[in-house]
Amino acid sequence: MNRLTLLLLTALAPMAWGTTYLVTSELLPAGHPLLAGLLRALPAGLLATAIGRTLPRGAWWGKAAALGILNIGAFFPLLFLAAERLPGGVAAAVAGVQPLIILGLGSLILKERIRPLTAAAAVAGTGGVTLVVLGPAAELDLIGVLAALGGITATAFGIILTKRWGRPSGVGPIAYAGWQLTAGGLFLLPLTLLLEGAPTTVDAGAVLGYIWLGTAGGLIAYTLWFRGIQQLPVAAPGLLALLSPVVAMALGALVAGETFTPMQAVGLVLVLTALIAGQIFAQRTRMPSAPRAEEIRTDELVRR
């Protein structure tokens, strides 16, 4: 598979995640972010693990649990909480800060040099997000913004560790995604039972919403996403996350009737510019040839 095909397939993941905000606000019962995260993660994780027919071994039990909590268990409920408290486009736009967070974490934790073009793309994306979030029609909610920031910070750590640890030899992307979805779901299960419980009513629309989020936004998206993280320089999947706010803002405007000011439109242009520029720069980085788990070079982590 060439890099362009892999890039396009990986892009489907953040595009699917961009639908989360509309589905949450229009279909799911309000006040149940833990339940939404649980139903999105655990059934899909168990199914993927069954399809992959492989369980973790040795140290990978702990690694899979850590990745599952960061990428799934912490991220999902914070994502749904943000989607409930913010307009879809604004909630998703906060994800544009993630490339900058990854750069900072990579520099601090992995002692990686920050490249000027990488920093420029990340700053442009963050600037675009700032214009979107701070627009006068944004209807900011502090808890919603903090939840969105907390969620993308958790996944930023997850991306770094995923790239550093790689994937065990002989384990396919479906099984690898299944481990993390299952671990994240099991982390959310007791929290959901203790803190939320079940909603009083779940209508047909909610059922369809949960199915969509668990399949397209869960099993399929994370299988493509984790494969992309490991086979592409992290510049590519890291900046592809900017597609999520683009999709969410488009759906918010077309379906939910959300309106955006000229300032927010400029912010969206900056986000798209950062996305395109980052991908052009990523094409200059040699794609590794099927490395094994412990052979993935960590110095590729923040090269964008």
pLDDT digits (tens, 9 = 90+) for 60-90: 999 999 999 999 999 989 988 887 787 656 6
**Contacts for 117-122: CB closer than 8 Å, 24+ residues apart:** 117/277, 117/281, 117/304, 118/235, 118/278, 118/281, 118/302, 118/303, 118/304, 120/277, 121/239, 121/274, 121/277, 121/278, 121/281, 121/304, 122/239, 122/274, 122/278, 122/304
**Residue 12's pLDDT is what?**
92
**For residue 301, what pLDDT band results from cuts at 50, 70 and 90?**
very low
Work out how many domains the chain is built from and give that number.
Answer: 1
Average confidence (pLDDT) over 86-99: 67
For residues 9 and 257, what is the distance between their CA atoms, to the nearest angstrom? 29
Which residues form the domain of 86? 3-300
**For residue 271, what pLDDT band results from cuts at 50, 70 and 90?**
confident
**Residue 286's pLDDT is what?**
47
**Residue 234's pLDDT is what?**
60
pLDDT digits (tens, 9 = 90+) for 156-188: 899 888 888 888 988 999 999 999 999 999 999
Q: State pTM to two decimals.
A: 0.79
Q: Which range has highest mean pLDDT (24-38, 225-239, 265-279)?
A: 24-38
**Residue 250's pLDDT is what?**
78
Burial (CB count within 10 angstroms: exposed 0-12, middle 13-18, buried 19+), residue 121: buried
